[in-house]
Every structure is written in C-alpha cells, then in structure tokens.
Structure 1
Amino acid sequence: MKKAYQGLIKTLGRGAKGSRSLTLSEAHFLIRGFSDGIGTKVQLAAALMLMRVRGETCEEVAGAALGIKSTMSAQWSNLDVSIDWPCYAGKRELLPWLLLAAKVLASQGERVLLHGDPKSLSHRNHIAAHVEGLNIPKASNPDEAKAALDAVGICYVDADSFSPLVAQFRELHQELGLRSLFQIAIRCTNPANAPISLRSYFHPGLDKMHGKVAKLMACACLDARLPDDPYNDNLHRNFDNHFDNKLDHSMDSTAVNPAEQAFALKGRVGIFKGVQGETEINPRISTELTIATGDTSQVIYLPTRLEGFVGMNTLSSELALSPQQACLVLSQIWHHGEASDTRHESHSAFSSSASSKLGQIAEASVISTLSAIYLLQGKCQSVSQAQSLAIQAWRMR
C-alpha cells in the first residue's frame, strides 16, 4: 500500500508528457491514505503542490472531499440537520450578517449547522467570534450538536471537531504559504448530510467547479463500486493501469452510508459568489445562484437590493469594533434593526448616518440570503415570492 501511495505522486509528477491528474478514487486514497499513516506529510505536500501548479480538477476535489468525509465520525451523519452552512472564508470588513439569516431560519423550525475554521486566514472576521454573542451555541462533538439543535435549532462547529485532518492541512497551508484543494474540498463535505447545502466562492470559474464536484460526489455515493475502503485489493491491483475503473463490481452497496445516498438522490446544493468569498449573498450586486442536484442544474439571478448605495468605504474605515463590540452591534440589529455606538461613551464617534447604513446593509444582506435559501428549498417559484417571504420572515423574527 505504501508503494501504491508513492505511485500517486509519480502519477502527478512524471513530467509534461508522462503526468496526469488523479481520478476521483485516487484523490480519495491520497487523503484517506495520509490519514491512516500510509502516506507521509512530505508525500502529501508534494501531491498538493503538483496539483496546485497545474490546477486541481473537479475529480480531484470531489475525491478529496469524500476522503476528508471518510475520516469524520459516523455520528455526525446521524444528526437531523436541514441546512448545511459552511463558512470558511471570513470577511475583511463589516460583520457576518449571515448569522442573522441563520437565526431567522432556526426560528422557523429549520435545523442549521454552521461550521468553519477561524484558525485559517486568522486575519479575517470569522463567524466563530460572533456566534455566542447571538446565543448560537458552539458544539465540539455530535452529542453537543444534537442537544443544541434540539434546543434552539442551530449550532456552530469548528472544523477541527470534524476531523484531525483539518489541523494537519492548516499546518501545511501555513508552512508552504499556498492554498490547496483542501480549502475547496472542506466546504463540500456536508458532515450531517443535510438536504440543503450551501457553497460560496470568490474567484471566477469556481461556480462551475462546485457544480461539477457536487454531481461527482452524488454519483460516487450512489455507485456501489466506489471503494469506501481505501485499501480495496482490486483498486490497488489496478493502480499501475491508472485506476482504469475496473473496480470490484461485487462490492456490497450497504458499504455506502444511507444518509449520503439520500442526499445524493434528493439533496440540493446552492452555489454563489459570496461577500469576499463568505457564504452570504452580497446585496450590493446582482448574484447568480446555481442550484445543483445529482443530475440537474438551474441558474437563478438575484437582483441587488442596494442599488446605488454609497458610503461603503467610509463606513468600513469608520468601523473599528472589537469582537465584543461587534457582537453587541449584531445583537442590537437582531433586536431593534439598528445599531448604536458601542465604542465610546459619546455617540458622536459613531454617527447616526453610519448606524442607519449598517441597518440598511444588514437588512438587505439578510433578505437576499434568505431569498436564496427559500429558492434553494423550493419554497418559492419566483425571486419576487422569495423576497416577499424573506422580508416577512425578517420582520416577524
């Protein structure tokens, strides 16, 4: 098996004429083999950088996501979650309004699982710093998550609690100074197999990648031939033949998680360009929302809600809130729809104009994000219906 793992690096690094990208099964083995001590950190780093230089394929990302997911406790799959909400990008300025939208959904009976990695891109403003200020519980294991979901319909989980691979990939990222396919793959894991899952991106072209990755993962979960066991004998016999897909057709389909199969059959993935890459609709621009299933894809355009909005740069420079102050602002907007100065005893430093603009941005962000989720759930047949429902939900919170 160690020789087979070494063969993955050879496959990627044989030169311009001899190298090729990994198949989904090979990428799955790259991740799972490292997790189980077959591959070394040096081998994994070499593979990641070879893929980074060439550009990762959808098959490689899908295989990596399935490999990461295979290291997660099956107890996460047993959680009753209706919306999977990965938040890994953070924001450079302003606040995570998406948390207000998530609270609205929880108040409507949805069970929302938020997750992210605040230790990665630590200079950014991650939701982990704000959830407790909005009475959103943090959970570190499936039992705690279940208790929180049962009690209030929402919880946040640091990605480290899902898999030890998260810390190892973060260490590689920081040591090498380069991103890898892990940053995309972790967003795609949907740990609890919720029927609705969100995907955000920033760089052009990643929308199409996320759409194809979602379809590849769905097909793999429905295909009994996918080797759930990374040491499948037949897989390794075919390694030198470039994983020619002559996998063991007699493999028992019960090896595939039923919850994963259910998501593959009926799950819906919402893909959009988020604010600075974070999983929140930007109300200042029109947004293309792709709704992907295992075999279909639909594109819906969400219009801007802040046409001609000015003063964003001034507002960003005016705000310099500590995490505690930011939590207070979020709480004020949740309860009252506006914020007051939380930095000084005098209110002069935090102008009424800034307070009004903050309220505008927050409300527009929440309504736009809720609209996208209602469309993703199939609750509305049109964007205008989704927006009306979102406005009503926000006002009735």
Structure 2
Amino acid sequence: MAHPRAHGATPQEHPFAQYVRILGKGPNLSRPLTMDEARAAMTMIMKGEVEQAQLGAFLCLLRVKTELPEEAAGLALAIKDSITLPADAPKVDVDWASYAGKSRQLPHYLLAALTLAQHGISVFMHGAENHTAGRVYSSEALASLGVPAATSAEQACAQLRAHNFAYMTLEALSPRLHQVMGLRQLLGLRSPIHTVARMVNPFGAAFTINGVTHPPYMPVHQEGSRLMGERFAAVFKGDGGEVERRPEKDCTVAFLADGQPGTEEWPALIAGTRDKEDGLELPRLKALWTGEDKDEVAAAAIAGTIAIVLRYSGRAASVAEAEGAAQAMWRDRIKTRIPGAV
C-alpha cells in the first residue's frame, strides 16, 4: 500500500523535466536548448533515465519547432558518447549515412560506396531500416550483392580492415537509439532522431556525407557538424533522401572544408527526366556492377555520387576534376569482385 505524502510536502521534480520545460513553457518563455543542454538531455535518454511520457514530449516539442544546429550537435554528440567501439578500431575515411530507403530508383549509392572501397577509400555506412513501408533499405540491397551487414562493432572493424567497407543497421549499432527512433509509429511524427542519427560519425571518419529529402535541413547538418568539430563534410538533396546524386537535376552541396562552411553548385549530368521504376529489381545492382547492365543513367548517378565524395573529402580540387576521377573509378572497377561479397 502506498504511503500518503506528508501534509505540505513538495513532490520532487524529475531531473529531465527541466529540458521539457525549456522547450515547452510557452510562446514567450520557451527557448531552444543550448548545445550542452541538448547533450545532457540526450545522455539521460541514452542511459534510459527518462520516463516514456517525458521522452515523447521532448521529441514532439523539438519536432514542432524544428531542431537548431546547436541542438542537433548536442544530441548527436551524446549519441556518439554512448557508442563503444573496439580499442583497435581502424581509421575510416568516409562516414556514410543511409537513413531513408529507396522507393523510386534502385539504391545506386551502394555501388558508389563499394567503388570507393575498392579504390582504397574506406567507408563505414550506417542506417535505420523498415521505418516506412514500400522502400528498399541498405541491408537487403547489399545482401543481393552478397555483402553481409555487420551485426557488431567488432565485425564492422574486421570488414573494414579486410574490404574497406562495412554497413551496420542502427539496431545493431545502437539498440537504444533504434528503440527511441521506433517511437515514430507511436507518436505519428518523424522525430529529430532521424536528423541527428545521421550526424553521429561513430568511427570518427575524416569525412562525413549525408543526403536529405528537404533542403531546409541542409544548414542544420552543415552547422551542426561544424559545432561537433567535424572538419570535412557534405550534405545535399539526394535521391529519396539517400546519399545519391540525381543525375537529371542540378545539385547544391553544402560542405565543410577544413571546418569552413560553403556551398557549391553542380550542373545536371543528363538531359530530361527519370520515371519511377516499375519495380526495384535488386539483381540489377549486380548486373550494373559486372557490366551486364549498361544503364547510362544509373552509371551517371553512381559516378555523380562518387564525385561528391571525392570533391569534399579533399581528393579533387574542382567539380570537373571530381567528375572525371569518379567516372574513371567506376569505369576501372574490378567487375568480377565486389568488396565484402561472400
């Protein structure tokens, strides 16, 4: 039987309540979180120190006002703090976020990442899956190429050392963050976690790249990454929200070059438009790699994606140089060997 509270006693406020109050006190008294406050709040979330009602309120309040770069940076740093890697984790060149899934076109970005890996540029890819019906996600597409997803950080390290490529689902990389992101089905809203999980860069790669669906989020990624201490980064509106160049469209890339922000325009690679594919036939990915399928539009998407990585990771001095080097990489891939395939 619960004991009645003594007359006049004041109930103790939950430590997390301050962060909900900051965001939700009203139109005149609420304010954004500082980066330190966001980091402290997310640390409590990752440690499971908040009540479910508080977590829902916190995520919804952030979503309604849209997270600022300082908030995104603080949240992402707390997530990064919570991820434990082996002490001998290898150096990684490219951190590649894959959080959207594809519904209109095949995930050509995977062939771009594997081409970079085959040419000695290591790529760690991570992503959330199965959050939206009717989409193809990275692990399923990689499986069609014979490339298994890593189920632990140790396995990812081994794959990176052996093949310069590893992919982990968010569920494997951070079960707690996967659980938090799963609240989308309960709340009916996409939470800020879909933005900040992309920014975590768990292996501390020298360069990070993100694709977004909505261009207004590009400055959040750009400035948030700068506040996190990233030196080289790029974000652009990718096909379906993935890191994949839309070859029929001009492309604006927001980047960090040695910590300094900037934007650059890329012209379309092909004329005309692309229709939605009738069915995303995953075996076509392998046919594209082997050269059996010579789809020039797909090749433009692949090389165009490689070019953005080369340009903003400091491996090309101009758009034209990046595009030429990318086309050569794709042309010269070893068609009989897919990195990591078993």
* TM-score normalized by the length of structure 1: 0.77
Aligned AA for 1:187?
R
- In structure 2, the residue matched to 1:283 is 247
Change (3 A) 1:386 1:3: same
Paired residues of 1:80 and 1:192 also in contact (CA < 8 A) = yes
- Match 2:31 to one of 17, 20, 38: 20
Matched, 1:381 2:336: no
Q: What does residue 249 of structure 1 align with?
A: none
Range moving further from structure 2, 23-32 or 133-142: 133-142
Q: Deviations over 1:144-166 (max 9, x none)?
A: 11221122211211111221222
Unmatched segments (≥5 aa) in structure 2: 1-11, 334-342
Contact 1:62 / 1:213 at 8 angstroms: preserved in 2?
yes
Partner of 2:289: 334
Separation (CA, whole Å) in 2 of partners of 1:81 and 1:133: 25
Please name the residue that 2:149 is paired with. 138
Distance of aligned partners of 1:300 and 1:181 in 2 relative to their CA distance in 1, 3 Å threshold:
same
Q: Deviations over 1:329-380 (max 9, x none)?
A: 1101100151xxxxxxxxxxxxxxxxx6xx1221010111111111012222
- 5+ residue gaps, structure 1, are 219-263, 339-355
Deviations 1:38-77 (A, max 9, x none): 2111101111111222222221111111111121113388
Of 76, 94, 118 in structure 2, the residue corresponding to residue 83 of structure 1 is 94
Residues 208, 233 of structure 2: 8 Å contact kept = yes
Candidates 320, 338, 343, aligned match of 2:279 = 320
Matched, 1:371 2:307: yes
Cα contact 1:116–1:128 (8 A) shared by 2: no
Greater relative contact order (Cα 8 A, min sep 6): structure 1 or 2? 2
Paired amino acid for 1:296: Q
**Mapping of residues 105-120 of structure 1, within 5 Å:** 105-120=116-131
Q: Partners in 2 of 1:185 and 1:13 — Cα distance?
A: 20
1:5-59: CA deviations, max 9, x gaps? Answer: 1111122221112211111111112211122232111101111111222222221
Match of 1:187 among 198, 202, 209: 198
Give per-residue Cα distances to partners, 1:262-304, cap 9 Å, x unaligned. Answer: xx4xx31111111121111111101112221564013222211
Matches within 5 A, 1:197-212: 197-212=208-223
Distance 2:133 2:43 in 1: 27
Contact 1:2 1:38 in 2 (8 A): no
Residues in 1 aligned to 2:174 and 2:34: alpha-carbon distance in whole angstroms: 23
The share of aligned pairs that are identical, in percent, is 30
Aligned match for 2:166, one of 137, 155, 158: 155
Q: 1:385, 1:294 → 2: CA distance?
A: 19
Counterparts of 1:17 and 1:68, CA distance in 2: 30
Change in 2 beyond 3 A, CA 1:125/1:47:
same
Equivalent in 84, 101, 104 of residue 93 of structure 1: 104
Residues 52-71 of structure 1: pairs in structure 2 closer than 5 A? 52-71=63-82
CA–CA distance in structure 2, aligned partners of residues 21 and 15 of structure 1: 12
Q: Please give the alpha-carbon distance, in whole angstroms, between the structure 2 residues aligned to 1:77 and 1:189.
A: 19
TM-score of the pair, normalised by structure 2: 0.89
Determine the C-alpha separation between the residues in 1 that align with 2:172 and 2:161.
Answer: 19
1:114-263 equivalent positions in 2, closer than 5 A: 114-218=125-229
Between structures 1 and 2, the one with greater helix share? 1
Change (3 A) 1:298 1:12: closer
Distance 1:57 1:298, change over 3 A: closer
Residues 113-122 or 184-193, more deviating:
113-122
The 1-side partners of 2:195 and 2:149 are apart by 23
- Tell me the C-alpha RMSD between the 2 structures: 1.9
SS of aligned partner of 1:367:
helix
Q: Deviations over 1:310-334 (max 9, x none)?
A: xx33x62xx324xxxx331110110
Equivalence for 2:263: 299
Amino acid at match of 1:385: E
Mapped contact 1:30–1:44 kept (Cα < 8 A) = no
Partner SS state of residue 179, structure 1? coil
Code of the aligned partner of 1:336: G
